[in-house]
Amino acid sequence: MVDPAPRRRRPAAGGGGGGAVEAALVLLALAALYGAMSLVAYRVIHMHHVAPLGADAPLGDFSEGRVLHHLRRLSVDIPGRQEGSPGLEAAARYIKGQLEELAARAGPEYRIEVEESLVSGSFSMRFLRHRVTLTYRNHKNIVMRISSNVSEDQDLAFLVNGHFDSPLGSPGAADCGSCVASMLELSRLIIDSGWVPSQPVIFLFNGAEELFLLGSHGFIKTHKWNNTIGAFINIEASGSGGADLVCQSGPGSWPSRIYAQTAKYPMANSVAQDMFGIIPGDTDYRIFAEDITNIPGLDIIFVLGGYFYHTSYDTVENLLPGSIQARGENLFNLVKAFTNSPMLLKENKLSNEAAMPIKDDLRAIFFDYLTWFMVIYPRGVSLVLHSLPVAIFLLAPLFLTSPNITLMSWSLTVLDLMRGMLLHAFGAILAIVIPAVAAAVRLLFMKNAMNWFAHPYLAFLMFVPTSLAGLFLPRIVWGLSEQAHFWGAFGLYSLITLVYMLAGLSGGFLTFFISMSMLLGRFICSISRKHWNKQSPKLLVGYVVPMIPCLLYCLYYGGFLIQFLIEKMGMMGSLPKPYGYFVADVIVGSVVGLVVGWCFGPVTPIASRWLAKTSILHGLLQVTVVGLAISSQLFPYSTGAPKRVVLQHTFVTDANSIVESHYGFSVVDANSLEFLFNNAPEAAKWLKDNSLLSFEEKYHSDRSSWLVHIVPVIFLFWAQLSSQTLKQAHTCDDIF
């Protein structure tokens, strides 16, 4: 099947494997295949495969339509739910009223308790590398406990938490009106379905999450049911829908195992848990599972649609259809599974001390496959599985030189495979570097950065061809045997898998999946050689088809990552000139290149026979030029992807006196204030002439409308327009 000692060969001009026409046909066939798989991945990422049920759906089903009815009441009829505002009190009354109606019509087999509580307390936490000490009082929570009529107050319970306050300036439809409305529908479903939970289910509607997680802290420290919580789910939103992703899980692996076994549309990835710590944000999960107590639980978050996160565009109309339906059906299955789990009954009494550090071996490796099913295995098993590809790679020279093994043949084979690994590594690096350089060079001739922000397809059009060129370039310049190409690529992915494992990170499952799929493709391709000509493109079919499940997953995983990254680039913060102008484009170009390395890198060892040609390289560069030309004609923002600005009015107080007052106006992405004022001159005029920014006494608002909201984040913005500091002697009674 293979030569005992494969010889290096240098390709002829234009490469081997047929002429330009055949190479073009191979490229088009692969483009069609990847296009079809990308369409499948896109539909799954944007929840098109989930059909939302209307408000007239059977009472035994979870209905997105009924959730939207609650959501319109909370985010449209009630104007704003910020802490201290009348809207927050109105939302609390609405939630409590709905829960009391459910309690009134529940059957005799249920024991329903609804409480309204005011919480007070104090604690310290780390936030954006600063220590913040918080003291609070009289924040409102609404709590509902559903149990059987024979349950006792001391029975271990399962907690579902969501917050009903919203960010400043936002109606909070997704964040987190969607969470609260889903909890109302879920509590109704429990009662109307006739299912009586074997253990109590507690719904915590907390009213102060946006203010540094105060509501959840007050509940877990002061409520009479705090010591009965055996497990929990926190539901959140950092976008308007899409995948309802399990971003954090633990302590221990049993919450993620229950999720894997019961979620109808599993959306979970243990890599998210590795990455969550570097994202500047927190959820109530931190209070329940890390800082204050160590209750096992899940942190489930809407992560796409980040264009509208914490803005006035976070409305019902901008929610992604199907997202709430998938969340609700998952939640109902999870509540049933957790309350019936023996692990819940085995939980020890909750400690009021801070959680102990989580041991790595207690966290499982898990990922969903296009929300169709979920794969999960213990970290101990991963030590064996993720070492297997490296072991195969180390043994490969023996298999490749048998049965006529000599020291010389073995040494030459090892040397050839190492060359193949270096060649593939060089191609993977170029696939990342070339798009990054192209992104930076483009900006030297453009007035706008981030043209892909409102048009994500531009990122693929501009950067995917350059990434592919980077993958193929080393194979055009240096020639190795197909065997060396394959085993070199396999060895690189095996080595990455081993590095992930040794670092205690979860991402190794992806390169493990890639390397093992390559082996399967190689095996089928080897069998096909007996029936087809060695130069026939049918060999590529025999190699690629067995890899389709892996390639489809890589496109799903990579597409989700790129979409998430593009949306978050709009709120990355302003950075110093001149390099701050380039950062967003360089990051997106590099990540697209990384994803191309996952998605197409495994195919290149065989496909390069036809595609590693200068004519193909020229074609890819021409597509890149077309993408650059299109991007120059498109504006970076749209109504569906608006540009964020921050206007922050800061007071500095001494006891009950305001001693200093000023405001700062800033952008939060790579396009500067100059860009903003050039394209929206009315903004500059408004800042200059609007009397609402005056600090005169006559413009002071009534204290009943004040919001207690202290978020010292102005230091995140490098370039800002500031007012002159105004000294004031005005005093008031209730500043704290």
Query: For every residue of 56-70, which 3-state class applies, written as one string?
Result: CCCCCCCCHHHHHHH
Domain that holds residue 141: 64-370
502 contacts 397 by C-beta, under 8 angstroms: no
- Alpha-carbon distance of 108 to 232, in angstroms, equals 26
Q: Provide mean pLDDT across the span 15-41.
A: 88
**DSSP states of 236-285:** EESSSEEEEEEEEEESSSHHHHHHHHH-SS--BBHHHHHHHTTSS---TH
610 and 656, same domain (yes or no): no
Split into its structural domains, the chain has a count of: 3
Name the pLDDT band for 697 (thresholds 50, 70, 90): very low
Residues of the chain above pLDDT 70, percent: 88
Whether residue 229 is predicted with pLDDT greater than 90 in this model: the reply is yes
Which residue among 577, 610, 632 closes a domain? 632
156 contacts 344 by C-beta, under 8 angstroms: yes
The predicted-structure confidence for 247-262, as pLDDT tens digits, reads as follows 999 888 899 999 999 9
pLDDT, residue 653, reads 75
321 contacts 47 by C-beta, under 8 angstroms: yes
Asked whether residue 637 is assigned to any structural domain, the reply reads no
Whether residue 420 is predicted with pLDDT greater than 60 in this model: the reply is yes
Whether residue 125 is predicted with pLDDT greater than 90 in this model: the reply is no
Q: Give a three-class secondary structure readout of 418-468.
A: HHHHHHHHHHHHHHHHHHHHHHHHHHCCCCCCCCCCCCHHHHHHHHHHHHH
Whether residue 419 is predicted with pLDDT greater than 80 in this model: the reply is yes
Whether residue 726 is predicted with pLDDT greater than 50 in this model: the reply is no
Other CB atoms within 10 A of residue 668 CB: 18
Q: Are strands 157-163 and 229-237 parallel, antiparallel or unpaired?
A: parallel
The residue count of the chain comes to 736
pLDDT, residue 690, reads 65
Whether residue 296 is predicted with pLDDT greater than 90 in this model: the reply is yes
pLDDT, residue 687, reads 74
pLDDT, residue 720, reads 54
Backbone φ and ψ of 644, nearest 5°: -90, 140
The predicted-structure confidence for 126-156, as pLDDT tens digits, reads as follows 876 778 888 999 999 999 999 999 999 999 9
- Alpha-carbon distance of 172 to 157, in angstroms, equals 29
pLDDT, residue 211, reads 86
**DSSP states of 352-405:** SSPPPPPPGGGSPEEEEETTTEEEEE-HHHHHHHTTHHHHHHHHHHHHHHTTS-
- Alpha-carbon distance of 400 to 420, in angstroms, equals 15
Q: Provide mean pLDDT across the span 614-621.
A: 92
The predicted-structure confidence for 448-471, as pLDDT tens digits, reads as follows 899 999 999 999 999 999 999 999
433 and 553, same domain (yes or no): yes
Torsion 320-321-325-330 (CA) sign: negative
219 and 353, same domain (yes or no): yes
Q: Provide mean pLDDT across the span 524-529.
A: 83
Asked whether residue 312 is assigned to any structural domain, the reply reads yes
Q: Which of 32-36, 406-410, 524-528 has maximum average pLDDT?
A: 32-36
Whether residue 15 is predicted with pLDDT greater than 60 in this model: the reply is no
pTM of the predicted protein model: 0.89
585 and 533, same domain (yes or no): yes
Torsion 317-318-320-324 (CA) sign: negative
Name the pLDDT band for 12 (thresholds 50, 70, 90): very low
Asked whether residue 32 is assigned to any structural domain, the reply reads yes
Name the pLDDT band for 277 (thresholds 50, 70, 90): confident
Mean pLDDT of the chain: 87
In three-state secondary structure terms, 522 is: helix
The predicted-structure confidence for 336-358, as pLDDT tens digits, reads as follows 999 999 888 775 444 434 344 44
More reliable by pLDDT, 17 or 24: 24
- Alpha-carbon distance of 250 to 363, in angstroms, equals 7
79 and 186, same domain (yes or no): yes
pLDDT, residue 10, reads 45
Name the pLDDT band for 573 (thresholds 50, 70, 90): confident
- Alpha-carbon distance of 463 to 120, in angstroms, equals 52
Asked whether residue 736 is assigned to any structural domain, the reply reads no
Cα–Cα distances in angstroms (integers) from residue 67 to residues 174, 182, 239, 321, 486, in the given order:
12, 6, 17, 12, 52
Helix (H) or strand (E) holding 231: strand 229-237
- Alpha-carbon distance of 533 to 550, in angstroms, equals 26
Asked whether residue 729 is assigned to any structural domain, the reply reads no
Q: Provide mean pLDDT across the span 554-573.
A: 93
610 and 707, same domain (yes or no): no
179 contacts 95 by C-beta, under 8 angstroms: no
Q: Provide mean pLDDT across the span 309-332.
A: 96
Whether residue 706 is predicted with pLDDT greater than 50 in this model: the reply is no
pLDDT, residue 693, reads 58
Other CB atoms within 10 A of residue 198 CB: 15
Asked whether residue 655 is assigned to any structural domain, the reply reads yes
Q: Provide mean pLDDT across the span 206-230.
A: 94
The helix/strand count (H/E) of the chain reads as: 23, 12
More reliable by pLDDT, 179 or 4: 179
569 and 653, same domain (yes or no): no
601 and 700, same domain (yes or no): no
pLDDT, residue 5, reads 43
- Alpha-carbon distance of 343 to 199, in angstroms, equals 12
261 contacts 298 by C-beta, under 8 angstroms: no
Whether residue 536 is predicted with pLDDT greater than 70 in this model: the reply is yes
Q: Give a three-class secondary structure readout of 87-154.
A: HHHHHHHHHHHHHHHHHHHCCCCEEEEEEEEEEEEEEEEEECCEEEEEEEEEEEEEEEEEEECCCCCC
440 and 307, same domain (yes or no): no
- Alpha-carbon distance of 698 to 215, in angstroms, equals 35
Q: Provide mean pLDDT across the span 424-432.
A: 96
Q: Provide mean pLDDT across the span 561-570.
A: 94
181 contacts 70 by C-beta, under 8 angstroms: yes
Whether residue 701 is predicted with pLDDT greater than 70 in this model: the reply is no
Q: Which two tokens stand for residue 231?
A: 């497990």
pLDDT, residue 533, reads 67
pLDDT, residue 18, reads 60
Name the pLDDT band for 482 (thresholds 50, 70, 90): confident
Which residue among 321, 342, 370 closes a domain? 370
Q: Provide mean pLDDT across the span 366-377.
A: 95
Which residue among 370, 405, 432 closes a domain? 370
Q: Which residues lie closer than 8 Å to 93 by C-beta, 6 or more apart?
A: none
Whether residue 4 is predicted with pLDDT greater than 80 in this model: the reply is no
408 and 538, same domain (yes or no): yes
- Alpha-carbon distance of 198 to 147, in angstroms, equals 7
Computed over its alpha carbons, how large is the radius of gyration of the chain? 29
pLDDT, residue 16, reads 55
- Alpha-carbon distance of 258 to 330, in angstroms, equals 11
- Using CB atoms within 10 Å of the CB of residue 55, give its burial: 0 to 12 exposed, 13 to 18 middle, 19+ buried: exposed
Name the residue among 511, 484, 513, 509 with its Cα closest to residue 496. Answer: 511
588 and 667, same domain (yes or no): no
658 and 531, same domain (yes or no): no
Provide the CATH number for the domain around residue 143. Answer: 3.40.630.10
Q: Provide mean pLDDT across the span 604-624.
A: 92
Q: Provide mean pLDDT across the span 495-524.
A: 94
Q: Which two tokens stand for residue 524?
A: 């089928």
Q: Which residues lie closer than 8 Å to 649 by C-beta, 6 or more apart?
A: 661, 662, 663
Name the residue among 617, 619, 620, 623 with its Cα closest to residue 13. Answer: 617
Report the side by side order of strands in the sheet with 657-667.
Answer: 645-654, 657-667, 720-722
pLDDT, residue 479, reads 76
Angle CA(30)–CA(33)–CA(37) in degrees, nearest 5? 140
Name the pLDDT band for 443 (thresholds 50, 70, 90): very high
Q: Which residues lie closer than 8 Å to 578 by C-beta, 6 or more apart?
A: none
pLDDT, residue 711, reads 55
Asked whether residue 336 is assigned to any structural domain, the reply reads yes
Asked whether residue 348 is assigned to any structural domain, the reply reads yes
> Residue 336 is which amino acid?
K
Q: Provide mean pLDDT across the span 34-59.
A: 96
Angle CA(284)–CA(290)–CA(296) in degrees, nearest 5? 85
